[in-house]
Amino acid sequence: MTEAKIKTIRSIVRDINFEGRSLLSINDLTDNQIYGLFDLALQLEPWNRSMVPLVSGNVMSTLFFQPSTRTRMSFETAMHRLGGDVISEANPMVTSSAAKEESLSDMLKVVSKYANIIVMRHFNDKDAREAAPYSDAPIINGGWGHWEHPTQALLDLYTLYRTFGKVEGLKVCVASPDLIEARTGHSMAQGLARLGAKVYLASTSARRTPAEVMEKISARGIKVEEAFDFTRDSFNDYVSGMDMIYLPGCSAPKGPEAEAFKVIMDNYYVRYDTLKKVADKDGRTIYITHTLPRRAGEMDLQIDSSPHQLYFEAIAYSVSIRMALVCAILGV
């Protein structure tokens, strides 16, 4: 008789095999590593509201050159829950030497002498990618320019996995009138496709998913469906066949174009009645998640208190999956 292999947190971290590495793109992780992080996050969920001292003595630096609530606070919460410490810079362009025109590469080189791990958000993905190799500590991309936001995709993939028990075969629509600047949508689409979901990209034809993202998906032999230029009725008809609708959000432009763009955004409004009709007719729940923050008018707020809502559920999952990522990078 063979003995059952008991999985421990240490053994899962060892199997993930990501210690000392940076996470700049969702594609820095293999499919097995993503599932390994899911397994580890599940083990760590009981400590979402308490503490398990797995990385005591380690320091995380959070460098956020753009505003953030969820990403910065969930990473800092994750580090504290793991028994580590945090040094945070939430406004570097004003309160750090970046205000004195210090280069990003110099800043990362310096901060990596203090911290064991760095989480950074930056408005310019090109600058961030060029500076990252100068750090002596692993870096996590907390959202760079319009390029990628891999840990947002990771937590949303984990939320999907925890909701359905799988990702493969699920029909997921990534929907926004602007998929050019939807960095969370870029990471999520790639992650979904890689894990075997059926991916649908709904946008305006003028602001479709960038060719670079589509090429990365195609390079793996995976097909996704693109659909364009909806009315509100046609959009709700389109998403009624999905398992989940993923709203990466988008910011309306400022100035005279803002109001015109908001009219286009209204065509991608998710109706509660659409979801209820499918539930009543087919007994099937279409889930909605949004990366937040959201603009008033992106969805029917009745969804907030319905069984279809996943965006607030994802907040709790974000702590455990980011705890798992930190453990995988720092070791335990």
- Model confidence over 176-216: pLDDT tens digits? 999 998 888 999 999 999 999 999 999 999 999 999 999 98
Give me the pLDDT at residue 182, please. Answer: 87
Global pTM value: 0.92
d(CA 273, CA 78) in angstroms, rounded, equals 37
In angstroms, rounded to a whole number, what is the distance separating the alpha carbons of residues 136 and 82?
Answer: 22
Contact indicator for 270, 306 with CB cutoff of 8 Å? no
Count of structural domains, the chain: 2
**Torsion angle of the four alpha carbons 212, 192, 299, 240, in this order, in degrees rounded to the nearest 10:** 110
Alpha carbon dihedral 76, 79, 83, 84, in 10-degree steps, equals -90
> Are residues 44 and 83 both part of a single domain?
yes
pLDDT for position 293: 86
Same domain, 141 and 197: no
3-state secondary structure of 172: strand
Residue 286 forms part of a structural domain: yes
Pair (210, 304) in one structural domain: yes
Q: 4: helix, coil or strand?
A: coil
88, 173: one domain:
no
Query: Is residue 36, in this structure, part of any structural domain at all?
Result: yes
The answer to the question of residue 225 being in a domain is yes
Taking only Cα atoms into account, the Rg of the chain, rounded to an integer number of angstroms, comes to 20
Beta bridge partners of 270: 299
Condensed to tens digits (0 to 9), the pLDDT of residues 283-298 reads 999 999 999 888 877 8
Mean pLDDT value of segment 36-46: 97
Are residue 110 and residue 175 in the same domain, yes or no?
Answer: no
Do 303 and 170 have their domain in common?
yes
Q: Specify whether 115 is located in the same domain as 247.
A: no
- Return the pLDDT at 251: 62
User: Is 111 among the domain residues?
Assistant: yes
- Give the whole-number percent of the chain exceeding pLDDT 70: 97
Same domain for 49 and 132, yes or no, is yes
- Rounded average pLDDT over 256-263: 75
DSSP secondary structure code for residue 63 in this structure: E
Distance between CA atoms of 218 and 205, rounded to whole angstroms?
19
Give bridge partners of residue 118 from the DSSP assignment.
Answer: 61, 139
- What's residue 296's pLDDT? 74
Q: Is residue 115 part of a domain?
A: yes
The CATH number that applies at residue 104 is 3.40.50.1370
pLDDT at 250: 65
Residues 280 and 233 in one domain: yes
φ, ψ for residue 210 (rounded to 5)? -60, 150
Mean pLDDT of the chain: 93
| Res 197: pLDDT | 94
pLDDT in tens, 65-109: 998 999 999 999 999 999 999 999 988 888 888 888 899 999 999
Strand partners, 228: 203
Judgement on whether residues 160 and 282 belong to the same structural domain of the protein: yes
Determine contact, residues 323/81, Cβ cutoff 8 Å: yes
Contact between 153 and 187 under an 8 Å Cβ cutoff? The reply is yes
Pairing of strands 198-203, 59-64: unpaired
Rounded to an integer, the average pLDDT of 106-135 is 97
> pLDDT at position 129, please?
97
Same domain, 137 and 248: no
Residue 126 lies in a domain: yes
pLDDT given for residue 91 in this prediction:
87
236 within a domain of the structure (yes/no): yes
Question: By the 8 A CB rule, do 307 and 283 touch?
Answer: no
Q: Is residue 4 part of a domain?
A: no
Quote the pLDDT of residue 22.
98
> pLDDT exceeding 90 applies to what percent of the chain?
80
pLDDT digits (tens, 9 = 90+) for 272-327: 999 999 999 999 999 999 998 888 778 999 999 999 999 999 999 999 999 999 99
The residue range of the domain holding 130 is 9-149+318-330
**What is the C-alpha separation between 230 and 225, in angstroms, rounded?**
15
Same domain, 163 and 121: no
3-state SS assignment for residue 118: strand
Q: The sheet that has 244-247: what strands, in order across it?
A: 225-228, 198-203, 171-175, 244-247, 287-290
